[in-house]
Structures are given as C-alpha cells and as structure tokens.
Structure 1
Amino acid sequence: MVHIRFEGRSVDVAKTQLGIVGGMNDVAVKERVARHLDVNSDRLCTYIVDRRPSGDLIIRPEAVYG
C-alpha cells in the first residue's frame, strides 16, 4: 500500500496500481506517484518516501520543525 499526502489530501493506492515494485529508488517512486496525481514530478522533489517495516510506503511533504 502507498499512502500519499499531497496538497491537503490523503489517498491510499495499491503499489500494483502505481506500478511500484521492490527495489525502486525514491525518484522512480515519486515519478509513479506524480503520474497517478497527474502532476509534474518536480512537484514532489521535496517530498519524503518513508519506507515502513511492513513494506508500505508513505509519500509526504518534508516535516519542518521549529
């Protein structure tokens, strides 16, 4: 499962629906997510790909504290 947080929206999408397979790097994952969201991949350049121990992914904006 891929949980995407983008511009105030949250959506869960199956990895297979996005075409994400094991071993893909962050850039490739962001490109697949950008295609799904129908936006340019540069809109996700500052986003984090958080890889959970379960194998799920969370695509989210970078957290800024302070």
Structure 2
Amino acid sequence: MDHIRFEGRSVDVAETQLGIATGMNDLAVKEHVARHLDVNSDRLSSYIVDRRPSGDLIVRPEAVYG
C-alpha cells in the first residue's frame, strides 16, 4: 500500500494501481504518483519517498521543523 500526502489530501493507493514495482527509484515513484494525481511531476520534486520496513511507501512533503 502506498500513502500519498499532497496539498492537504491523504490518499491510500495500491502499488499495482499506481504501476509501481519493487526497486523503482524515487524519481520513477514520483512520476507514477504525479500521473495518478494528474499533475506535473515537477510539483513533487521536493517530496520525500519514505520506504517503510513493511514495504509500504509514503510520498510526502519534506518536513520542516523549527
């Protein structure tokens, strides 16, 4: 399962629905997510792909503290 946080929305999507395969690099993951969200992939350039030990992915904005 992939979790996407984008512009105030949170969406859970199956990897198969996004077309994401094991071993894809962050850029490829972001391109697939952008296609799913119907946005230009540049809008996800500063986003983080967080790979969880369970195999799940979280695509989210970079956290800024302080």
Normalised by the shorter chain, which TM-score bucket? over 0.9
Q: Which 4+ stretches in 1 moved above 2 angstroms?
A: none
Percentage of identical aligned residues: 86
How far 1:31 moved relative to its partner? 0.1
Aligned to 1:65: 65
- Give 1:1-66 correspondences, 5 Å limit: 1-66=1-66
Equivalent residues, number: 66
Q: Which stretches in structure 2 are left out of the alignment for 5+ residues? A: none
How far 1:4 moved relative to its partner? 0.2
- Measure the CA separation in 2 of the matches of 1:7 and 1:19: 22
How far 1:48 moved relative to its partner? 0.2
Q: TM-score, normalised by structure 1?
A: 0.99
Q: TM-score, normalised by structure 2?
A: 0.99
**What does the per-residue CA deviation read over 1:3-35, in whole Å, with 9 as the maximum and x for residues that have no partner?**
000000000000000000000000000000000
